């Protein structure tokens, strides 16, 4: 709950009407690394995200240790050797987008949005420009996005002995099913 409060305050969410804000604590983020020797995939289902349709803002916050791998040894190496999740426990994204009138009024439809923001991974903040999709169906809001993250841009060191096992750029896919935010 503390993470949510910090995230909400940092975006000024408490100054708008509750019906304009949507929240999930069970978002899904997947990353995929395709390299000559091995493909690596991990999933995180404990992702917090907030969307404010009155301001055109989105925030995402996740714990690095919550990524799950098929092989436990990969998960251990990911957390200890590459991501240093004890030192850099979380990753965040804060972004902005123009809100189409239909989305603002929660009209059923699919809305393609240009999102600009800042991604923080491994203690390094980098700008991100991507296209995201928000879908409204029967009053429910869903979000999806896919983009690449260059490992070296976030000062993640890959030992030479395994450099062919990890892609220089990993594919990040995120999916969210939001609920209206209810204060309290």
Position 15 in a domain = no
Cα–Cα distance between 51 and 144 in angstroms, integer? Answer: 12
Q: Residue 180 half-sphere exposure, CB side, CA atoms within 13 Å?
A: 10
DSSP for 117-133, please give it: EEEEETTEEEEEEEEEE
Position 14 in a domain = no
Residue 72 structural domain? 2-9+20-180
Is the model's pTM score more than 0.95?
A: no
Say what the pLDDT of residue 2 is. 44
Position 101 in a domain = yes
Structural domain total, the chain: 1
Position 131 in a domain = yes
Position 95 in a domain = yes
Cα–Cα distance between 146 and 49 in angstroms, integer? Answer: 15
Position 31 in a domain = yes
Say what the pLDDT of residue 6 is. 47
Position 132 in a domain = yes
Strand partners, 91: 62
CATH code for the domain of 159: 2.40.128.110
Q: Pick the residue with more confidence: 108 or 7? A: 108
Asked if residue 3 has pLDDT above 70, the reply is no
Cα–Cα distance between 165 and 143 in angstroms, integer? Answer: 31
């Amino acid at each position: 709950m503390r993470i949510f409060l910090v995230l909400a305050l940092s975006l000024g969410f408490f100054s708008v009407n509750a019906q304009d804000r949507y929240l999930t604590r069970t978002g899904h983020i997947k990353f995929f690394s395709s390299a000559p020797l091995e493909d690596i995939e991990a999933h995180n289902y404990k992702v917090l995200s907030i969307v404010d349709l009155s301001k055109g803002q989105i925030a995402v916050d996740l714990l690095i240790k919550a990524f799950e791998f098929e092989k436990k040894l990969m998960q251990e190496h990911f957390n200890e050797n590459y991501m240093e999740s004890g030192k850099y426990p979380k990753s965040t994204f804060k972004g902005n987008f123009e809100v189409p009138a239909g989305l603002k009024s929660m009209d059923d439809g699919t809305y393609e949005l240009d999102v600009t923001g800042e991604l923080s991974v491994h203690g390094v903040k980098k700008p991100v420009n991507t296209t995201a999709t928000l879908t409204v169906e029967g009053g429910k809001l869903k979000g999806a996005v896919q983009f690449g993250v260059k490992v070296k841009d976030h000062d993640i060191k890959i030992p030479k002995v395994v450099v062919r096992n990890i892609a220089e750029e990993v594919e990040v896919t995120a999916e969210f099913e939001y609920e209206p935010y209810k204060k309290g």
